[in-house]
Amino acid sequence: PIARWTQDDVDAYVAEHGVLTNPLLMDGYASVGCAPCTRRVLEGEDARAGRWAGRGKTECGLHG
Work out the average pLDDT over 31-55: 82
Question: Residue 17: its pLDDT value, please?
Answer: 98
Strand partners for 3: none
Model's pTM, two decimal places?
A: 0.63
Identify the active-site residue in 45, 58, 60, 61.
Answer: 60
CA angle, 12 as apex, 22 and 5 as ends, to 5°?
A: 90
Question: Residue 33: its pLDDT value, please?
Answer: 79
60 catalytically annotated: yes
Strands (E), 1-64: none
